[in-house]
Structure 1
Amino acid sequence: MAQVKWTLDPMHSEITFKVKHLMISTVTGQFRAFNVTAETAGNDFSQPGSIDVTIDVSSIDTNNEQRDGHLKSEDFFSAANHNQIVFKGTKLDVKGDEGKLHGDLTIKGITKPVVLTVENGGVVVDPYGQTKAGFTVTGKLSRKEFGLTWSAVTEAGNVVVGDDIKITAEIQLVKQAA
């Protein structure tokens, strides 16, 4: 079976994250610039050949310019030296509409294996004749495992930034003409 190529539909996709602040509330952010490509044997994603994600670190947006600048600094992502977050999928196990996406995630030059949960929204043909596939990808990772170790503690002993980062990606892909 011939390989089918898929590219990101950026108008219908987003990558967001949540992290605890002072351990009493949650801050939400997103990356505004990213790309996803995939190759599959057929349209159903049961046999993906590749799944590649690149995220522009400088596109981070937490709705606060000062915080975004801090996140781009050496304290966190070191965007000047590590301008991309890269995910290379190694295996996709989907049974029905749910599954696991295994891959290697590289942040700030550190690569670690991760397993993300995938909700397969299905494949449809849109009103313009384009074949589209939709997925919700969620996961949790430790920022400190990727060298994002900056921390501070309040007078009361509360940690300013939590270690666990919750990730949600709403991804829509477009099948490319053969």
Structure 2
Amino acid sequence: METATKTVWTIDPTHSEIQFKVKHLVISTVTGHFRKFEGTVETQGDDFATGSIHFEAETASVDTNQPQRDEHLRSADFFDAEQYPKMTFQSTSVEKIDDETYKVIGDLTIKGTTKSIELKAEFGGSMTDFYGNYKSGFEITGKINRKEFGLTWDAVTEAGGIVVGDEVRLALNVQIARPA
């Protein structure tokens, strides 16, 4: 029986985005990004159900389009980017649900705390770009509780409102490329 060769795909950062959304004052949502990140997906041939995913983002690259808030997020109150410069994800299983959907389970480490999380990955398709690179795209979503990862800073308004919600929604749009 012939086994498929190992393929190592790499995230194309110029065609990918790592986004998160969290409630502010429980009435609106703040969106943020990580600007510096990298990752790989190792598969047998092109079978993503055999994938092993490794991802990391630089916590100091957090960007919510508001410099004062970004500095607070980099501080020890949140990511503590000086002591914990990276957040990482390593898959432990990938399950193909249907032709376009995968369930990805893995270990997310933020601020020195590792928890197992579940993500949904929707396959957008594959195509060869203008330069001959074979690429595949995925939209990945999930939710985490920030406090489970040591991001416990809290504040209450004078009226008793919560400033930052606990639930963080993850939205990653990634394009990965395999070697020619």
TM-score w.r.t. the length of structure 2 is: 0.95
Give the Cα–Cα distance (whole angstroms) in 1 for the partners of residues 104 and 49 of structure 2: 12
Say yes or no: does 1:157 pair with 2:150.
no
Q: Answer yes or no: is the 8 Å Cα contact 1:100–1:116 preserved in 2.
A: yes
Give the Cα–Cα distance (whole angstroms) in 2 for the partners of residues 15 and 39 of structure 1: 20
Give the Cα–Cα distance (whole angstroms) in 1 for the partners of residues 144 and 22 of structure 2: 10
Given candidates 90, 93, 106, the residue that maps to 2:92 is 90
Give the Cα–Cα distance (whole angstroms) in 2 for the partners of residues 127 and 64 of structure 1: 36
Large movers: runs of 4+ above 6 Å: none
TM-score w.r.t. the length of structure 1 is: 0.96
Say yes or no: does 1:2 pair with 2:9.
no
SS at match of 1:47: strand
SS at match of 2:107: strand
Alignment match, 1:52 = 54
Alignment match, 2:150 = 147
Q: Answer yes or no: is the 8 Å Cα contact 1:18–1:165 preserved in 2.
A: yes
Alignment match, 2:170 = 167
Q: 1:112-168 CA distances to partner (integer Å, 9 max, x unpaired)?
A: 000001101122222322110110000110000000000001111110000000110
Report 1:37-116 matches (<5 A): 37-48=40-51, 50-94=52-96, 95-116=98-119
Q: Answer yes or no: is the 8 Å Cα contact 2:49–2:102 preserved in 1.
A: no
SS at match of 2:47: coil
Give the Cα–Cα distance (whole angstroms) in 2 for the partners of residues 128 and 176 of structure 1: 12
Alignment match, 1:29 = 32
What is the RMSD of the two structures over their aligned residues, measured on CA atoms?
A: 0.9
Give the Cα–Cα distance (whole angstroms) in 2 for the partners of residues 42 and 2 of structure 1: 5
Q: Answer yes or no: is the 8 Å Cα contact 1:43–1:123 preserved in 2.
A: no
Structure 2 counterpart of 1:24, one-letter code: I
Structure 2 unmatched ranges of 5 or more:
none
Give the Cα–Cα distance (whole angstroms) in 2 for the partners of residues 46 and 8 of structure 1: 17
SS at match of 2:161: coil
Aligned residues: 176
Give the Cα–Cα distance (whole angstroms) in 1 for the partners of residues 133 and 82 of structure 2: 38
Structure 2 counterpart of 1:33, one-letter code: K
Give the Cα–Cα distance (whole angstroms) in 2 for the partners of residues 154 and 128 of structure 1: 53
Alignment match, 1:138 = 141
Structure 1 unmatched ranges of 5 or more:
none
